[in-house]
Amino acid sequence: MNTRDFPPIHPGEILLAEFLQPMGITQYRLAKDIGVTPRRINEIVHGRRAVTADTALRLGRFFGMEAQFWLNLQNNYDMEVALEALQGRLETEVRPFSRAA
């Protein structure tokens, strides 16, 4: 299994570094403009909350992009976290399907 030299990147980090900061948008303004609580945005930005389909649709509309972008970021993050948690257990605990059994 591959090991990483750095932790997985949460979608909130990308939201903050690639969208909010460069565009001069506050978390509060984003929250109000997409119709969610500021707490939701703050928790996403700090990696304490996942980007749900609801949030992805709202972010997509606000930024004029596909909602799938945000869901893909979340899915990639979740997969990396799961891979780290399972480490080598998959190889020892899961026997791949074989027709010749």
Residue 78, pLDDT score: 98
pLDDT at res. 5: 80
Chunked mean pLDDT (size 10), the chain, 101 residues: 78 99 99 99 99 99 99 98 92 90 57
pLDDT at 88: 86
Q: What secondary structure letter does DSSP report for 20?
A: I
pLDDT of residue 100: 79
- The set of residues, in sequence order, having a beta carbon less than 8 Å from that of 31 and lying 6+ positions away, is 37, 38, 40, 41
In the chain the domains, ranked by start, together with CATH numbers, are: 11-89 (1.10.260.40)
CA separation for the pair 50, 27 (Å, rounded): 16
Query: Which is nearest to 44 in space by CA: 77, 19, 11?
Result: 11
